[in-house]
Amino acid sequence: MTHDTDVLIVGGSLNGLTTALLLARHGVRCIVVERHPDTTVQYKFAGISPRSMEIFRWAGIEQEIHASRTGDQKAGEIARARNLADPDLQFMGRPWSDMDTLSVATAETCDQDVLEPILRRHAAAGGADIRFHTELVDFTQNEDGVQATIRDLESGEASRVFAQWMIAADGVGGATRERLGIGRSGPGVLQHWMNLIFETDLEPFLQGRRFTSCFVSDINASVTPRPRRWLLSLQYRPDQGESPEDFDADRVRDLVRQAAGRQDVRVDLFDAREWAAAGFIADRFSHGRVFLLGDAAHSMPPTGGFGGNTGIHDAHNLAWKLAHVLNGRADPALLDTYDVERRHVAARTLAQALARLAAWFKDLSARLPPPEPIAPDANVIFGQHYPRGALAQGADPPPSGFSNPFEPTGAPGERAPHIWLADDRRALHDAIGDGFLLVSDSPAWIEAAGVAADRRGVTIATYSPHGDSRDAWREKYGVSPDGAVLVRPDGFIGWRAVDASGAPDQDLRGAFDRILGPASPR
């Protein structure tokens, strides 16, 4: 049997399912193959950044994530102590608590075992063909597409898939990157960890304050409370003879009680799983018609909570570009900008995660590159800056690679700064549909936007700021009353005119050509 599709996605975990959801939202056909029989039972990724929630809001699942949350990033605090009974606690504030003014969306805690079924259900409802317990056997590619062999692991039946493009979201240990001959660099595996999920009667409060997680130095582990089952994450040392099999129910019970600082604690082990804190980045994020995404492209230690969120942002960047190429609205060269844009941001984000790791674990200093100055979390999450790529104009990013989102410039390559729209209290990012958004207070630019978009065959929405939003727009986007800004489908600024132009239609046509590639004759 042969199946025909637009995109074959290898890997049906967090990033693969996110990609399927976003492609489905753009009307792109895709098949997802995942070798595991079902979505994960492990927590793994948990803290969804406000920027990622902004993306999930666009995809229509924000409210379901809120309703399904497994913790509270906004109410709980990060703590550090010898154990949970230690009176000498150090509270370090709420994660991402300073970002409320940067987006209409807010951070959320939704563990991966709860989030993945939501992604899977909505991607399938949008038309994605999702096949668990199915593996990629082999693939070849040429100028016409990708031909792959997949196998149902339950029946053993093999079938063929022909896809225009393929996305490898098969994780840091996936085989696709190596099959493509793509190398990777970075400090490598830095620590070996165990995730121990257990049921308990512990309360999620320290000195009367709710905590999101607590690092307990008595056993060098992190304790994360959950409504049903808690998580204990701690290092183990293979070089000292330890193995994952050592973490049986008795040992986990002892470890949890040490972490709690008391013995009268109920501990029932649910699941024990090993993982590695590593720092890798692929030498390139694409090869021919195959793209690397998420952990297949970059692996980051959990310090900062950037890894899974970076994969979500990868998917958002790639999905609209694939959609525009597949429907003939963009030149295939647009897809080359995925590597240009996302590898730059991933490298800067990895450096920030490693800097935070070095600050927490001093014993790793000899194995890490000299740490960069730690940038604020808000800069890493909302200050991503593309110096070049699918842009009509470029601008050099700050030395850290991230802009300060509290002092936006409105330059092309930055995420469009958040402003409220005065008409119905929507946010500007809510006005972005499946296509572009032209924002201007000038009727000439608004009229020219429709003409230029029609010429390219692209979808565009327009908005004219008024009321309170007018002043906010001019200040945050660095434009005069007669200026204009073109926002890409992923919410990044692709082009800006600071003031009036004598030929707005011609200027916008040129902007589309530089972002999407030369227009085909119409």
Q: 70-84, 228-242, 383-397: which has the minimum mean pLDDT?
A: 70-84
**pLDDT > 70 in the chain, percent:** 97
The more confident residue out of 169 and 276 is: 169
Query: Between the CA atoms of 423, 461, 20 and 331, what dihedral angle is there, to the nearest 10 degrees?
Result: -160
SS3 489: coil
Rounded Cα distance, 31 and 3, in Å = 9
474's CB contacts (< 8 A; 6+ apart) are 441, 465, 480, 481, 483
Q: DSSP E strands: which ranges in 87-183?
A: 90-91, 108-109, 129-132, 134-142, 145-152, 158-168
The average pLDDT across 266-287 equals 94
Q: Which of 172, 159, 154 is nearest to 129 (CA)?
A: 159
What type of residue sits at position 394? G
Q: DSSP E strands: which ranges in 38-157?
A: 47-48, 77-81, 90-91, 108-109, 129-132, 134-142, 145-152
Alpha helices of 263-383 — where are they, by DSSP H?
307-326, 336-360, 377-382
- Which residues partner with 200 through β-bridges? 267
Rounded Cα distance, 431 and 425, in Å = 11
Answer yes or no: is pLDDT of 210 > 90. Answer: no
Show the domains of the chain with their CATH numbers.
Answer: 2-185+279-360 (3.50.50.60), 377-516 (3.40.30.120)
Rounded Cα distance, 234 and 271, in Å = 14
Whole-structure pTM value: 0.92
Q: Tens digit of pLDDT for each residue in 283-335?
A: 999 999 999 999 999 999 988 889 999 999 999 999 999 999 999 999 999 99
Confidence of residue 522 (pLDDT cuts 50, 70, 90): very low
Q: How far is CA 194 from the centre of its chain?
A: 23
Q: Tens digit of pLDDT for each residue in 73-120?
A: 555 678 889 999 999 988 876 666 678 889 999 989 898 999 999 999
8 A C-beta contact, residue 205 and residue 89 = no
404's CB contacts (< 8 A; 6+ apart) are 376, 378, 379, 383, 398
Give the mean pLDDT of the chain: 91
Neighbours of 271 (CB within 10 A): 14
Answer yes or no: is pLDDT of 521 > 50. Answer: no
SS3 445: helix
Q: Tens digit of pLDDT for each residue in 33-73?
A: 999 999 987 777 878 999 999 999 999 999 999 999 876 65
Structure token pair of residue 1: 């049997």
100's CB contacts (< 8 A; 6+ apart) are 106
Answer yes or no: is pLDDT of 496 > 70. Answer: yes
Rounded Cα distance, 358 and 368, in Å = 7
Q: Tens digit of pLDDT for each residue in 399-448?
A: 778 999 999 999 999 999 999 987 667 899 999 988 999 999 999 999 99
Whose structure tokens read 């040429």? 142
8 A C-beta contact, residue 292 and residue 286 = yes
